[in-house]
Amino acid sequence: MITIAIVLSIVLLLVILFLLFRIGTLASIFRGSSERAAGTTKTSNRVNGALLLLFLFGGGAAFAWSFIDSWDDMILPLASVHGDWTDSLFWTTMIVIGIVFVLTQILLFIYSYKYQHQDNKRAYYYPHNNKIEIIWTMIPAIVMALLVFGGWKTWTKITSAAPEESVVVEVMGKQFNWMVRYPGPDGELGVAKTTLITATNEFGIDFSDRNALDDFIPREIHVPKGKPVLLKIRSRDVIHSVFLPHFRVKMDAVPGMPTKFWFVPTKSTQEMRNETGNPDFNYELACTEVCGRGHFAMRFVLVVDEEEEYEEWLALPANKPFIEQNPDLLVKFQTESPKQIVLGSKTEEKAEEVKTEL
């Protein structure tokens, strides 16, 4: 019943609109405005001109208000060294383009309003002026050159090689969660292969590699404040992307092609809790490359500790080497290892053959 009523009222509304439209058309024929060249009718020019002005000032004011009003929601607290560089470059560029935005929009709407059609006037025949053209080619070129230079310097610093003493964390994306691995006391991550992946050994770590024996797999990322952190990023199925919004960090996780990103955290989680006034604040890791059904839910927590807290965390029993917690995995590797090696080398050979054929 309600559906019928809704449909009926929509139909009635459309009929009324159509009648209004017909009346408007007939009225304009009666007034003779349809005899004039298109776009020269006084009323519609005035109305459109006024609306253009209204749009410029009303829209501009609404934009300014909403921008200021959203400021607190828009600005993410910052917690990394390079984030400071990119943020300041971002806002510098925003000011530059903001000036151009305001000037060009004002000119566009004011000119449109001011030079609207008048019967007694004629446009000014002004086909070109090479001097002006050169000036307004050069100005953007110079501004662009400055912005490119700023961007290039920042980009080079951010993407430079990570310092030797960096804390290394391996981040692996999979459908649909993140996993992390620490290299343990030896500072070296053990070899991992997709062919070795099992339900327990989700990284596919090869435990015949000595470096793998002290690797551990925690449920959160912990990093010390003020120390460089090197993320070694990879994926085991489709492309994912590591996004740490508070640290201004983003790098794709690509299957078959390890990537990396290093940064220096500047605020511990506790400091950020105090700063934001939110006792439950946590740094979050999100996925920003579409990866399937659970793309929107790949959340992982990153904790920035003070130096001592970080050492304490490393020493936690939960962070014992992975293989010590799952000793049966090692047994399997040791008993089967000669066989495994043979099998492994065979598959590799096969793979290479395929590659050369292609």
Partner 1 sequence: MSSTDISINHDIDHAHEEHDHHLDQNFFEKYIFSQDHKIIAKQYLFSGIFWAFIGGFLSILFRLQLGWPEATFTFLEPILGGWVENGKLNPEFYLALVTMHGTIMVFFVLTAGLSGTFSNFLIPLQVGARDMASGFMNMLSYWIFFLASVILFISLFLETGPASGGWTVYPPLSALPQAMLGSMSGMTFWLISMALFIVSQLLGGINYITTVINLRTKGMSMTKLPLTIWAFFLTAILGVLAFPVLFSAALLLIFDRSFGTSFFLSDIYIAGEALSNTGGSPILFQHLFWFLGHPEVYIVIMPAFGIVSEVITTNARKPIFGYRAMIGSLIGISLLSFVVWAHHMFVTGMNPFLGSVFMFLTLIIAVPSAVKVFNWLATLWRGNIRFTTAMMFAIGFVSLFISGGLTGIILGNSALDIQLHDTYFVVAHFHLVMGAAAFFGMFAGVYHWFPKMFGRLMDEKLGYVHFWLTFVSVYLVFMPMHYIGIAGFPRRYYAWTGFEVFNGFSDMNTFISISAILGFTAQFIFLFNFVYSIFRGRKSTSNPWHSNTLEWTTPVLPGHGNWPGEIPAVYRWPYDYSKPGSVEDYIPQNIPFSQTQSSNLPQERDFE
**Footprint of partner 1 on 241-300 (CB under 8 A):** 241, 243, 245-246, 248-252, 254-257, 259, 280-282, 284, 286-297, 299
Both tokens of 167, joined, read: 């804390």
Placement of tokens 């511990």 in the chain:
268
Question: Of 8 and 107, which CB lies nearer to partner 1 in the complex structure?
Answer: 107
How is the beta sheet containing 177-181 ordered, strand by strand?
Answer: 177-181, 167-174, 229-235, 259-263
Residue 85 has φ and ψ, to the nearest 5°, of: -65, -50
Nearest-5° Cα angle at 195, 191 to 201? 65
Question: Of 225 and 232, which CB lies nearer to partner 1 in the complex structure?
Answer: 232
Binding mask 198-217 for partner 1 (x = CB under 8 A): ------x-------------
Placement of tokens 């530059």 in the chain:
96
Q: Which of 197, 213, 314, 330 binds partner 1 (CB under 8 A)?
A: 197
| Interactions with partner 1, residue window 4-23 (CB under 8 A) | 21
Long-range CB pairs of 339-348, under 8 A, 24+ apart, other chains included? 340/208, 341/208, 344/193, 344/195, 347/195
Question: Of 20 and 316, which CB lies nearer to partner 1 in the complex structure?
Answer: 20
| Interactions with partner 1, residue window 313-342 (CB under 8 A) | none
Question: Of 1 and 354, which CB lies nearer to partner 1 in the complex structure?
Answer: 354
Position 344 contacts partner 1 (CB under 8 A)? no
Q: DSSP character for 165? A: T
Query: On the CB side of 353, how many CA atoms lie within 13 Å of its CA?
Result: 6
How is the beta sheet containing 283-287 ordered, strand by strand?
Answer: 221-224, 300-305, 283-287, 240-244, 249-253
Binding region for partner 1 (CB under 8 A) out of 70-78, 211-219, 222-230, 334-342: 70-78
- Residue 64 CB, shortest distance to partner 1, in Å, is 11
Q: Which of 12, 16, 61, 76 binds partner 1 (CB under 8 A)?
A: 76
Both tokens of 327, joined, read: 């000793």
Both tokens of 330, joined, read: 């090692």
- How far, in whole angstroms, is CA 148 from its chain's centroid? 20
- Residue 189 CB, shortest distance to partner 1, in Å, is 16
Question: Of 78 and 314, which CB lies nearer to partner 1 in the complex structure?
Answer: 78
Question: Of 4 and 358, which CB lies nearer to partner 1 in the complex structure?
Answer: 358
Q: Which of 73, 164, 165, 308 binds partner 1 (CB under 8 A)?
A: 73
- Residue 11 CB, shortest distance to partner 1, in Å, is 14
What is the Rg, in whole angstroms, of the alpha carbon atoms belonging to the chain?
Answer: 32
- Residue 315 CB, shortest distance to partner 1, in Å, is 29
- Residue 182 CB, shortest distance to partner 1, in Å, is 21
Binding region for partner 1 (CB under 8 A) out of 189-197, 265-273, 303-311, 333-341: 189-197
Name which of 203, 183, 184 is nearest 193 in CA terms: 203
